[in-house]
A and B are shown apart, each in its own frame.
Chain A
Amino acid sequence: DGGITQSPKYLFRKEGQNVTLSCEQNLNHDAMYWYRQDPGQGLRLIYYSQIVNDFQKGDIAEGYSVSREKKESFPLTVTSAQKNPTAFYLCASTHDRGANYGYTFGSGTRLTVV
């Protein structure tokens, strides 16, 4: 079955470390997105990419970086510059900019700073 796979499901980071969250899709979608969700909060856009080798900053890009070397993959790196990285991270994709079919979401990665 087609879908989006996020890994790992749980991730623990020490202060000052960079960590990378994986997002892979086999839906042949062009556009991919990263969102951050804090407890009891809505979703905030971190980065998005509409085509391979191109991506744009979202509303809260500081302290994060991404790459889009392959259509299927859109990894997110949480750098040590992100001062409050503990959150639930969601990856999404769509093939028509979301207008008719919406986004397909992964099951999320919960990142905790220890």
Chain B
Amino acid sequence: GNSVTQMEGPVTLSEEAFLTINCTYTATGYPSLFWYVQYPGEGLQLLLKATKADDKGSNKGFEATYRKETTSFHLEKGSVQVSDSAVYFCALSDSNFNKFYFGSGTKLNVKP
């Protein structure tokens, strides 16, 4: 079956620190992979995506590379800001089954 596993949070970092949030997946076929961000009291916003192996998605300084050999899609940012404090969700889309599968979310707290 399809599933997404994210690292447990919360993750607490100081401003300008390096961020990694781990995400691994199990899927049949060839899924597309996504990272979403959720700010308090709001819906989810698409942060970045990758639709095939070895693709790198990037946006707003965040990056993630679709690694088929390790079934991973880890989110990274070189220098976090206080405004990056949010919950981050990893997700995969299996178009054959018309459904998304979300990880449980990782809360990021960035301190000034």
Contacts and interface: CB of A to CB of B under 8 A. Distances in A.
Interface of A: 4, 6, 31, 33, 41-43, 45, 48, 50, 90, 92, 96-108, 110
Interface of B: 32, 34, 36, 41-46, 49, 51, 89, 91, 93, 95, 98-100, 102-105
A98 B43 contact: no
B53 to A, nearest CB: 14
Contact of A48 (B41, B91, B99): B99
Majority SS of interface residues in chain B?
strand
Nearest to B30: A99
B32 A99 contact: yes
A42 B105 contact: yes
Contact of B42 (A4, A100, A103, A107): A107
Contacts of A4: 43
